Structure formats: C-alpha cells, structure tokens
C-alpha cells in the first residue's frame, strides 16, 4: 500500500539528484514541480544530455530551481542538501555519498521517493531473471480483470512519473532491481515477489550474499497481511519463505505447494485456504521455455492476490507474446529463425535462453563482463550450440571459459556477428542473441543492443546486403 501524500511540497528544500538517466530525470521533474531546489549531478558532460535536460530547464522557469553539475560530482553538494535521490545506475558505494552519510542526510532511491507520494496499491517484483516479463504480464492480467493497473519501475517508466495522476484505486505492477532496493526505507509492497536469485552484478556487489541481501529488502517493511511470492524451485528463494514477516505464497513448475500456483497434469492450478482453482492448461501459454512457465505461474499468483479474476486469465496467457528483447522472435529467413534475448545480461539468463531450444543454435555472446563465471554455460553450449560468435570486451574470457565446447568465431561488431551466424546456418537453425554480459562496452543499453540486432537481421533480406555479401563463384 502506498503512502498517498501527493499534496506535499518541497519548497525551501534542496534535493541532490545523482545520475541523469531516466530515473534521475523523472525524480528531478517531480521535485521541481513540488517547488524544490534541485541539484542534478552526473559525471557525463552537460552537452551530451542537452535534449534530455531541455524539459527540466523549461519547468524550472516556472517552478522550483534547477542547478546542473556535470562532468564530475562536487563533494560539497553531497553535504549541503536536505536529501539525496540516488539513481539505480549509481553505486551506493560512490565515495561522495560518504559526505552525505557523515552529515546524516537521507539517501533515497527514486522508487522510495515515489512510494511516499503515490496513491494506490504497489506490487513489487524482483529477481535475477524474468522481472520484466512477469511485471508486464501481471499488468495485463489485472487490466483484463477490470483494474487500472500500470507497469512501472525498472521496466522503463519510472514509478515517480505516475505520482501526479495516481488515484487510490490504481495498482502499480513495479519491477524493482537490486540497485533500486538498496536505498528504500518505507517502501512496502502489498504483494512482493522474488522470482529467483542466481549470481549476477558481482562487479557491483562484494559477493553473492550481498546481492541476495539487496533483493530481500523488498520484504523489509511487509506485515502479516501482506504477501511474499517466492519460487519453490529456486533454493535461495524457497528458503526465504520461513524468514518473511508477510504471508508466503509459492509457485512451482512441478510439485504441489500448500499455498500458491503450481502445475499438475498439464494444468496450472492455484491453491489457498478456500481450495483449488483450475486456471488454464500449460499448452495455453504462448511463451517459450521452462523459465517463462515459472514467470506465468508467478504472475498468476501475484494477480490473484491483488484481486484478479481467475476466469479472465486464459485469454491473457494465450494472447501474451512476451516483451521486446526477452527471447523475442525477430524473423525467419530461409528457414533460419532469429531470436533477440538482449536482456540475457547474466550467465543464468543465457542458460534459460538456451534451454528454450533443442539444438542447432548459432549463439552470439559477449559484451561487458559483470565479473561472472561463464563456465556454467559449457554443458548447454556443447549439447546445443553449433557456433559461438563472440563480441565485446568479454570475448577473450568467454573463449577461455568455453574452449572445446563449440567452434568459436570473433566478430568486431554485432551486425558482423549476425552476418557470420547467418552464413554458417542451415534451414532449421536458430540464431540467438543471448549475450550473458552487460551492453555498455558497445551500446547505450540492452535495448539499444537488441535494436541493433533486429536491424542487422532485417538487413539480411535487403538488396544492399545481397549485393555486398554474394558472389558469382
């Protein structure tokens, strides 16, 4: 349940917003509209963000005050403010933040700020993999049940952007990353879910335990009348069921659970104190992969706990084709299928992507390493992958880790990797982008990487490509 105090203003207050990406810009806009003096700081050059900053400048001419500090952070600004709003892309270990901590200045995430003003109910969804698919599906399920439900958070639209038009009956299905959860204080989802936890972001956290602890903060303010939705098939999340203060609700692909959603005899069933409800058959689910079955089970449980209607679910899961950049079918060219899973930024996500196909895969791997161990990919690569096309900074590390599993080729760019995989493919093969790495060495984001992949696939059918890549030999 959200606090719903949207009427509060910040006149006379100085807010330091750290990071000028989507969350930071949205938080700055909100605070300016409430009369705050906003100091926006980013290590990027101001001219690189001129287009994004224009609306803030225009707003500051009418309301509040905007101070821009770009190119480097100023330690004095971290001491001379009333509170800090930290963007998720900025580490909580940023040295300048010690200035704020020593001065006793609160450090908030954008979602924490939003929660303090949002009217309506908050559903929080986190996990290493599946967050976006599950969040989107929850919003679809509840919307089909007649609720005003919006997908928000790490999915793309910052939660703070909804505050001004929020209403008490609204529901916000909110994707929450571990980064966003690091600096919550009061945030309390009525239903909170951890879909799974596997090693990730070890370039930011000192170890797996610290990463998992950040995820578990989603439950920190819940009470007995709230719900914790957990994956019975993931050892880390299953163990959390005994530790939460809220009511645990499990989901499972195989065994029955005492309370929650599970599969029996090819049917998805939900059980609670009132008994069992048959929701739909597993064959009704349009998404590929066992991991997506888990996402559907989780989404069904979350939606039902939020008041969703069981009889409306079958049509939604039949119609739901997934979300962009998550095992997204792109095209079939000459019997070769192209799939974009650019969101597979961890080794575990790539494993799940590979498990969705029986074999004959041309796999594109690489990008910026997040201090991950690529060795767990070996069995599936050896079993199902014909060639591995390597891109980006981690190419050498991946080559060493997967040596002897499949033939490996290096590509200077992603479009070059697409071309190489296409040339090596036969009808029936799958060309799969599932990089197991972050995108920031070559791209602005995983979305940017996915768009480049899709454009490269589209170019394979162009006259220009054929003229450049065919010969009369």
pLDDT band at 473 (very low <50, low <70, confident <90, very high): very low
Q: pLDDT digits over 259-294, tens only?
A: 999 999 999 999 998 999 999 999 999 888 888 999
C-alpha–C-alpha distance, residues 109 and 24, integer Å: 9
What pTM was estimated for this model as a whole?
0.82
Assigned fold of 328-467:
3.90.190
Structure confidence at residue 395 (pLDDT): 96
Average pLDDT, integer, range 230-240: 94
Q: pLDDT digits over 362-409, tens only?
A: 999 999 998 889 999 999 999 999 999 999 999 999 999 999 999 999
Average pLDDT, integer, range 202-210: 85
Q: pLDDT digits over 18-69, tens only?
A: 999 999 999 999 999 999 999 999 999 988 888 899 999 999 999 999 999 9
| pLDDT at 200 exceeding the cut of 90 | no
Structure confidence at residue 416 (pLDDT): 97
Mean pLDDT value across the chain = 92
Beta strand 328-333 pairing with 407-410: unpaired
Q: Give the largest CA-CA distance in the chain.
A: 75
For the 14-105 domain, the top CATH level (class) is alpha beta
| pLDDT at 77 exceeding the cut of 80 | yes
| pLDDT at 82 exceeding the cut of 70 | yes
Q: Answer yes or no: same fold for 112-319 and 328-467.
A: no
Q: Where are the domains of the chain?
A: 14-105, 112-319, 328-467
Using CA atoms, how far residue 77 sits from 67, 68, 74, 383, in Å, is 11, 11, 6, 55
Structure confidence at residue 203 (pLDDT): 78
| pLDDT at 470 exceeding the cut of 60 | no
Is domain 112-319 classified as CATH 3.40.1190.10?
Answer: yes
| pLDDT at 4 exceeding the cut of 80 | no
* Cβ atoms of residues 99 and 75 within 8 Å: yes
pLDDT band at 467 (very low <50, low <70, confident <90, very high): low
């Amino acid at each position: 349940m959200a606090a719903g105090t949207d009427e509060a203003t910040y006149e006379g207050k100085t807010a330091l917003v750290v990071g000028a990406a989507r969350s930071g810009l949205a938080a700055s806009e909100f605070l300016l509209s409430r009369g705050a003096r906003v100091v926006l700081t980013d290590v990027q050059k101001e001219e690189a963000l001129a287009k994004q900053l224009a609306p803030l400048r225009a707003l500051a001419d009418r309301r509040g005050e905007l101070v821009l500090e770009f190119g480097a952070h100023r330690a004095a600004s971290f001491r001379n403010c009333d509170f800090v709003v930290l963007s998720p892309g900025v580490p909580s270990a940023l040295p300048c933040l010690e200035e704020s901590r020593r001065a006793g200045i609160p450090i908030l995430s954008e979602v924490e700020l939003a929660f303090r003003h949002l009217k309506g109910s908050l559903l929080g969804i986190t996990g290493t993999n599946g967050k976006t698919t599950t969040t989107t599906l929850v919003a679809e399920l509840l919307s089909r049940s007649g609720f005003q439900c919006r997908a928000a958070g790490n999915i793309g639209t910052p939660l703070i952007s909804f505050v001004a038009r929020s209403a008490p009956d609204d529901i916000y299905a909110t994707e929450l990353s571990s980064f966003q959860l690091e600096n919550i204080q009061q945030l309390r989802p009525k239903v909170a879910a951890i879909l799974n936890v596997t090693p990730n972001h070890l370039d930011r956290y000192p170890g797996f335990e610290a990463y998992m602890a950040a995820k578990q903060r989603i439950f920190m303010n819940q009470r007995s009348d709230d719900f914790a939705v957990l994956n019975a098939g993931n050892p880390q999340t299953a163990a959390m069921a005994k530790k939460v203060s809220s009511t645990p609700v499990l989901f499972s692909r195989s065994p029955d659970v005492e309370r929650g959603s599970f599969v029996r005899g090819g049917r998805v069933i939900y059980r609670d104190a009132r008994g069992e409800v048959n929701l739909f058959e597993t064959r009704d689910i349009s998404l590929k992969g066992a991991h997506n079955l888990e996402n559907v089970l989780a989404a069904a449980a979350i939606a039902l706990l939020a008041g969703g209607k069981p009889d409306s679910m079958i049509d939604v899961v039949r119609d739901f084709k997934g979300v962009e950049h998550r095992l997204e079918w792109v095209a079939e060219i000459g019997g070769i299928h192209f799939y974009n899973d650019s969101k597979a930024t961890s080794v575990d996500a790539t494993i799940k992507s590979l498990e969705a196909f029986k074999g004959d895969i041309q796999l594109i791997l690489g990008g910026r390493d997040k201090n991950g161990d690529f060795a767990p990919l070996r069995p599936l690569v050896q079993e199902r992958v014909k060639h591995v096309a390597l891109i980006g900074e981690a190419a050498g590390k991946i080559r060493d880790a997967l040596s002897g599993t499949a033939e490996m080729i290096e590509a200077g760019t992603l479009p070059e990797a697409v071309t190489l995989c296409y040339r090596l493919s036969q009808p029936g093969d799958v060309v799969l982008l599932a990089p197991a790495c972050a995108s920031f060495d070559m791209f602005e984001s995983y979305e940017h990487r996915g768009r480049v992949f899709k454009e490269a696939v589209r170019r394979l059918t162009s006259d220009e490509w054929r003229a450049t890549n065919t010969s009369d030999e």
